[in-house]
Structure 1
Amino acid sequence: MKNYKTKRITGKVIYHIFTFLFAFIMIYPLLWMVMGSFKDTTEIFKSAQKLLPSSFDFTNYKIGWQGFAGYTFAIFFKNSLIIAGLSTIGAVISSSIVAFGFARCNFKFKSLWFGCMLVAMMLPFQVIMIPQYILFNKMGWVGTYLPIIVPQFFGQGFFIFLNIQFIKGIPIDLDEAAYMDGCSIYKIFVQIILPLIKPALVTSAIFSFMWRWDDFLAALLYLSDPLKYPVSYALKMFADPTAGSDWGAMFAMATLSLLPIFFIFLTMQKYLVEGIASTGIKG
């Protein structure tokens, strides 16, 4: 009995040691960047193998926040919040409506449209990037936030599929009982379905905000005015191949750009885990 307990304890210790080491290896590049934000640019590469700085200096944060060409990073953070916030609202609302239609409504060619949605979900962005740019350019949207924000108001395949799985897990008897009480299909969606799929909605909101906040390619394609740059694109301005790049300031602003995502994951972790875990057992 003692040998069994000893082996069990030893196994747990070994497991936790390897888990900690693996987690440290995975998070080390992030820690290196955060610690690099407190180093001088010359120190970053002279002592690249050294994680901790010789002294914690906040100069990089002061220099980085000043931005470039008279535009501070307060402007870029505001732009990112506008893009990510509006895109998230549009994606969550539109995707839940479309998902309700697929899960609860019967209409012609339902299977065909559902298949088209799945195909669109699996297509990489690079496939539709050029046709989209040509379309938005003809519409006069290039140079504005419209090509980045407006498509989010027409449903996103992954979020639609996620919400469908949740709605299918809700007994249809609730809908029938609501019909008997005189509720319209709109009231059923707003008052019954939406509150019950809250984990899926929060999961969709987290992923949508994170993807739009980190989106560099869309800003590169459609935005040319520095006054409209989001944080993801503004960080690129610190890298200058023709002159010296201010890596310290770049690391400092990159560290600050992680704070909103970290805060969202910290506060919404319960709903995120519930949403992902429940999707696999419903439907």
Structure 2
Amino acid sequence: MGGEIIGAIRSQYNPVQPSILLEKDNEVSYLEFMPSGLLQPYIYCYWQLVSQKPLEQPFIYRVVADACMDIYFDLYNPAESYVMGFCKQYTEFALPKSFHYFGVRFLPSAFPHLFSINGKELSNRYEKLEFVIPKLARYIAGYFEPEQPVEKMVSLLDSFFIDWIKVHSPETDHRFMESVLKILKNDGSLQLESDLKTGLSPRQLRRLFHYYIGDSPKTFSQIIRFQSLLKAKPSSQLLKSEKLFFDAGYYDQSHFIKAFKTFYGSTPSQIL
């Protein structure tokens, strides 16, 4: 059970990180780049967040819940790189007035599969990469610098991860993957106890989700449900008039608004 079965996640899930609202003079830009085809079963994208000029004040960067794990580093100081675990709520970072971040967004379960690391130990926090994958931290510190073209950075990361999977062949439990895919195919709206009968007991399933995802099947489903709404981009008026929050599995409007604010940091009416 290697990249093929893990890669089935990509065909069912495209995590959304809302576009940065650019200032009139385009002070900050955010772009995503595709990894090598060999890595697409594991890596959703590489991404770049950069200030186009020194800002007048620190920049607040918001990351919404997406069930993914990320590696990131500032090219002005590549010796300090970090890994961000599964988060069950939005996260905000106060960035300096000048920055050039580059990162790797892993599809759900891919990071623990690739590096044999318990995802639960990194949940809802970030950690220095040197304490988690020291070889990769040294590679980033040694090969990356501020003025490199994006193509070069993508090539460097592709080379590292391709070499890694040649040596470390990821294995997984097909029953766990079947559960993940069922949640994705149903946009997170399903009865976990009755719909996830894949030969695993509830206790076994929770243990596997904690290891490979970073949290419980319930929390994972809630985030997938939230992400499916972001991807659908319904208007605030449509949510009210057609009661889409019922169709998405929320008990009522207040339940929906509370969950949305937890995962995004703002209410649906402010965003949608």
Q: Which entry has the higher C-alpha Rg, 1 or 2? A: 1
> Relative contact order: is structure 1 or structure 2 higher (C-alpha 8 Å, sep ≥ 6)?
1
Q: Could you say which structure has the higher strand fraction?
A: 2
- Shorter-chain TM-score range: under 0.3
Counting helix residues as a fraction of each chain, which structure ranks higher? 1
Taking structure 2 as the reference length, what is the TM-score of the superposition? 0.25
TM-score (norm 1): 0.25
